[in-house]
Amino acid sequence: MSIGTRIRSLRKSNKLTLEELANQLNSRNSSSGFTKGRLSKWENDREEPKLSSLNQVAQFFNVDIDYFFNESQPSNASSLPRNTARIPVIGTIACGDPIDADENIVDYINVPEPIPTGAFALVCEGSSMEPSIVDGDKVVIEPTPDVEDGQVAAVLVDDQTKATLKRIKHIGNSIWLMPDNRDYDPIVLDAQHPGRIIGKAIKLIRDRI
């Protein structure tokens, strides 16, 4: 587990946003200069914090600084197994916001390449796509608004912030989101019921036996 992953874990377990954590750290020491962007770079392993800054984070969360280094591996491309890509797991997607905005990312997973640029993963919830996709499966999504009939897509419906996974079917000027489970009804997207396709499913990851 990387230093950034451990910082994110502590922050989320304390139910703090990046901005809230930065403000609280600065309130303890006005010369610290913590910012939301800086913390985001640490959590996503795009920048490594200085030891003095990391010590302040450790004190804030009441942990020993060794917590960040024990069995910790840098989470960057050079530390990954060959032919493996690290992609974000998305929780919610606010309408109009970038899919991979820091607030939307709940975890990262390593998946075999090739993986298209911008790919992300969603965790399936519910049983509407059984038996093809079951509750708890992770589905890798390639961002694209164009999905052919029969393909599984990630779609934002109305004002929802969680993408639904459904099979696409075009009928006239409408798009039908078809569940694989016959116990569920299709969802119809049209002028009165808007939605947005954010990508197509390209890989299924099932951890359980």
Please spell the DSSP secondary structure of 53-86, one letter per residue. Answer: HHHHHHHHTT--GGGGTTT----SGGGSPTTEEE
Strand partners, 168: 177
Residue 57's closest CA among 106, 101, 4? 4
Q: Where are the alpha helices (DSSP H) in the chain?
A: 3-13, 18-28, 36-43, 51-60
The active-site residue out of 75, 128, 138, 200 is: 128
Strand partners, 41: none
- Per the annotation, the verdict on 162 as an active-site residue is no
- Per the annotation, the verdict on 203 as an active-site residue is no
Residue 41 phi/psi, 5-degree rounding, is -60, -40
For residue 114, cis peptide bond before it (omega within 30 degrees of 0): yes
The active-site residue out of 75, 138, 166, 200 is: 166
Give the residue numbers marked as catalytic.
Answer: 128, 166
